[in-house]
Amino acid sequence: MTESVIFHHPGCSTSRRVLDALREAGHDPQVVAYTKAGWTEAQLRDLFAAAGLTAAEALRRKAKEAAELDLLRPDVTEADLLAAMVAHPVLVERPFVTTAKGTRLCRPVERLAEIL
């Protein structure tokens, strides 16, 4: 089937469900363990743009680092968020999936259907 990529966190049940759903739909996705591989600012900018999101919308607000780094304030800049996400990859919400039909933050899992 068409090539797909999942930016996956194996410790996340939503990410695991999305990966399973991709495979059930006939995809053999490239799995990027982003918390180990890390991000560059350019990767994040491209990923968020493809998904139609800002860094603030892609911030994993539940991550303890978000509060510890004072990133939950409404006046935090996009540049500050991107820098924090590069330094702490866990700050990026998950999972992001890219297929031939587009890129989505697949939270909730049902968002995956939009790009299958």
Q: How would you write the pLDDT of the chain (116 residues) with one tens digit per residue?
A: 458 999 999 999 999 999 999 999 999 999 999 999 999 999 999 999 999 999 999 999 999 999 999 999 999 999 999 999 999 999 999 999 999 999 999 999 999 999 99
Question: Tell me, what's the pLDDT at 2?
Answer: 56
- Would residue 106 show up in a list of annotated catalytic residues for this protein? no
Q: What angle do CA 57, 114, 20 make, to 5 degrees?
A: 90
Q: What is the CA radius of gyration of the chain?
A: 14
Round to whole Å and give the CA distance between 75 and 95: 26
The predicted structure's pLDDT at residue 6: 97
* Distances 110 to 3, 12, 21, 35 between C-alpha atoms, Å: 19, 16, 10, 23
pTM of the model: 0.91
Question: Which member of 4, 8, 12, 47 is catalytic?
Answer: 12
User: How crowded is residue 92: how many other Cβ atoms within 10 Å of its Cβ?
Assistant: 27
- Which superfamily does CATH assign the domain made up of 5-115 to? Glutaredoxin (3.40.30.10)
Instruction: Please report the pLDDT score of residue 77 as a whole number.
Output: 97
